[in-house]
Amino acid sequence: MSVPVRLSESETAVDAAVDAGGICSLYVHAPFCASRCFYCDFAVKVAPPNADEWLEALSWEFRALETEGEFTLASSLDTIYVGGGTPSLLGPAAMDGLARVVGPERLQGADLEWTAEANPESFTEEVAAGWRRAGVTRVSLGIQSFHEPSLRWMGRLHGADEARSAVRIAREAGLTNVSIDLIFGLPDHLGRDWEYDVGQALALDVDHVSLWGLTYEPTTPLGQAVEAGRETPPSDRRYEREYLFAVDRLAEAGYEAYEVSNFARASRSSRHNMIYWSGEPYLGVGNGAHSFKHPVRRWNFRDWDVYRAGVRGPTPPVDGEERLDPDQRRLERIWLALRTRRGLSVEGLPPAAERRTQRWIEDGLGNEEDGTLRLTPRGWLVMDRLTVELDGDFDGALTRSQSKSDLPAPLAGPLAGPLAAPIAAPLGKFRDI
């Protein structure tokens, strides 16, 4: 079990190490999609992908970053994550091109974790082989469901057979570290059998499973359909039931719930995503990508065309930034600690917070072991509320209503699912019931 978060600990040592050696984790955004899914509010560009334009834009951004000197990459990376969008649309040679842009010398570490996202319909034998040659070590497949009507409703372009084939293709190419995404909380009228979908996922015997509760963002076609009364989200009770069922089935099959939405076999947790969830620094490049180095979080222009036009300037294509004050940083550290199995140390908690966490334990929302508080799956379902409550128990804490809208912007924005991570906030969305 990893060391729990201690709110009393200073981040000075981490800051000094980064200043001396550079940032060791890189996120790269590939925005292109063949179509936009019904629920999607991510930074995507529906257009034929152009790998050369993508690589050229990234090259310009790296030049500007080197000139600026604020978010400097280390000489050797620990993790790199290529998300989207649909990176697999860029073709077999794109990851090799990306390696040249990042710097091949940075990607030579024996323990490098290099993840790339793919959709089943565009993850061909040629793409898999090209990724393997380039050095990709881990593939994340956006399967979402094995129920054909639900896939069509979501706007996905693959079917259940293609999902199974994508896992086979990855393994045959030597990409044996495979993760898949599943979405729960679909509308009742689809008739999707969640227990069947979980069973089909387990039958694939992959290393890692991510569960994402469907969110109904107001700017999406789905959100607009809900607003107009054409779609109805599932009840909180069914949302909770589906999540808890999956947690139990995955545990029975040997997957550890190491984070609210992520489940892994031994030694197969996502090291890159754990950087986000532990509050360590990372660099994000590409449109909409976020970067963080305590106490600064900043984000690039979200629109691909705006990003591409601005990236040729003398400064990085940054659209905005925030500098976290101590209260914001404490709230964020509580939230990050509670969402993972790392947990929160109870050492030094104020009396009011100690009493509150004891009530959580009595209510089945958390447990304490060796001085570390960890939420149970039922606690994870109300994690946002619990975070705000606990933060309010600290002396001098700002008065906050019990609403996720009061979380810092990069947390409250997309608090809902690595379908997008880490475009807006690389922290993962989850519906708080």
**What is the set of domains in the chain, with CATH numbers?**
12-278 (3.80.30.20), 343-407 (no CATH)
* DSSP string over 272-340: HHHHHHHT--BEEESTT-EEEETTEEEEE-SSHHHHHHHTTSSS--EEEEEE--HHHHHHHHHHHHHHB
Q: For residues 195 and 245, give the distance between their C-alpha atoms in angstroms, rounded to a whole number.
A: 8
Sort 213 into a burial class: Cβ within 10 Å, 0-12 / 13-18 / 19+.
buried
Sign of CA dihedral 184, 188, 193, 195: positive
Q: Could you give the C-alpha distances from 409 to 20, 404, 417, in angstroms and in order?
A: 29, 10, 16
The b/e string for 44-74 (b: 16+ C-beta within 10 A; e otherwise) is bbeeebebeebbbbbebbbebbeeeeebbbb
Structural contact between residues 60 and 96, judged by C-beta atoms closer than 8 angstroms: no
Structural contact between residues 357 and 389, judged by C-beta atoms closer than 8 angstroms: no
pLDDT at position 4 is 85
pLDDT by 10s per residue, the chain, length 433: 577 888 866 665 556 556 668 999 999 999 999 999 999 999 999 999 999 999 999 999 999 999 999 999 999 999 999 999 999 999 999 999 999 999 999 999 999 999 999 999 999 999 999 999 999 999 999 999 999 999 999 999 999 999 999 999 999 999 999 999 999 999 999 999 999 999 999 999 999 999 999 999 999 999 999 999 999 999 999 999 999 999 999 999 999 999 999 999 999 999 999 999 999 999 999 999 999 999 999 999 999 999 999 999 999 999 999 999 999 999 999 999 999 999 999 998 999 999 999 999 999 999 999 999 999 999 999 999 999 999 999 864 444 433 444 444 333 322 233 322 332 233 344 455 5
The closest of 364, 406, 411, 377 to 389, measured between CA atoms, is 406
Tokens of 225: 């359909």
Q: How far is residue 18 CA from its own chain's centroid?
A: 22
pLDDT at position 428 is 40
pLDDT at position 150 is 98
Structural contact between residues 146 and 160, judged by C-beta atoms closer than 8 angstroms: yes
The closest of 107, 30, 158, 117 to 127, measured between CA atoms, is 117
* Helix, strand, coil percentages, rounded to 5, for the chain: 40, 20, 40
pLDDT at position 6 is 83
